[in-house]
Amino acid sequence: MIHWSTLSLGDPQALDPVVPIEKGVSVNEERKLVYLSQSGLEWVGREGVLRDNHPYLFVSQRGQAPFISTMQKLHELNDFCVVLFDGIRKQRDEIPSFQDEAALVQSEDEEDDLFHKFVYGYNADQLGLLFCPASSLVMLYATYIQALITIADYYGAAELQSFRKNNSSGANEYRNLVQLLRRISNQPLEIFDSRRVSIMIDDRIKKLRNAFMHGRWDVVEKKLVGVNVRSCFEVVSSVIQHLEEVFDEDLEPWKSSSRYKTIL
């Protein structure tokens, strides 16, 4: 079992779920304030794109459809994760733990002893420490994959259709999508092979997602050690930002792509 004190889920100074609110602030204004969670994520809200308090989240600079859609999904997922982390933290602080009482129930029969401890429940101090960050990263990975598909569909629908006929979703889906985007853009897209992206996406998030889906909690625990949820959002956002710079009809590299030739 991993000692959860070794996990890096965010800035230790950001454990307070709510920024102190000054007197006289209305409820609506209060909701617009930045909320901090144990993950280091910040609440951005509907007006988040207009503020500069979330540098780790992608913000579209060109306003084309697939990137607007991806930006909205990332911001919504970010805020959902903030609520998830803060709700778990509050609930963990409030619910009683029965472990002390369960410890008093001892039996010479091992199975009987295990049953009594089960009846008294799990350790409340551990509530959400595995499932909360793990599920957040699983949802982030799914959002990331969908973003790549959305971009491929917008700029190379024919290529994507052919890709879907010849490739089934599975262990190699992510890297196959990367190769597809390289063909559509006619660019190397080296960011996918950068050390930070390879470590965070290929070695951590993707493997964590696979372990999570198969209930391999020992692997999930190991993959969570040292992972910062906010940093994962930042890595995904950096990839999307790079793709937006490449997949733009006003840029010279784009003119060599199949979609540009089709338009002409």
Please list the pLDDT of the chain residue by residue as tens digits (264 residues).
333 333 333 333 332 222 333 344 344 443 333 334 557 888 888 766 666 657 899 999 888 999 999 999 999 999 999 999 988 888 877 766 555 555 555 556 666 656 655 655 566 667 788 899 999 999 999 999 999 999 999 999 999 999 888 876 666 889 999 999 999 999 999 999 999 999 999 999 999 999 999 999 999 999 998 889 999 999 999 999 999 999 976 544 444 445 444 444
In terms of Cα–Cα distance, which of 143, 135, 148, 146 is closest to 208? 135
Euclidean distance between CA atoms 237 and 243, whole angstroms? 10
Contact 248, 184 (CB under 8 A): no
- The SS3 of residue 223 is helix
The token duo for 210 is 């696979």
Could you give the C-alpha distances from 246 to 12, 14, 61, 182, 184, in angstroms and in order?
37, 35, 12, 10, 11
Q: What is the pTM of this model?
A: 0.75
The DSSP string of 3-71 is -GGG---S-GGG-SSB----TT--HHHHHHSPBB-TTS-B---TTGGGSSS-TTS---SS--HHHHHHH
Euclidean distance between CA atoms 162 and 218, whole angstroms? 38
Four-point Cα dihedral 117, 119, 120, 122, nearest 10: 80
Burial of 62-84, coded b for 16+ CB within 10 Å and e otherwise, reads: eebebbebbbebbbebbbebbeb
Euclidean distance between CA atoms 81 and 75, whole angstroms? 10
Residues linked to residue 42 through DSSP beta bridges, in sequence order: 36
Please name the amino acid found at residue 253.
P
Spatial CB neighbours of 23, under 8 Å, sequence gap ≥ 6: none
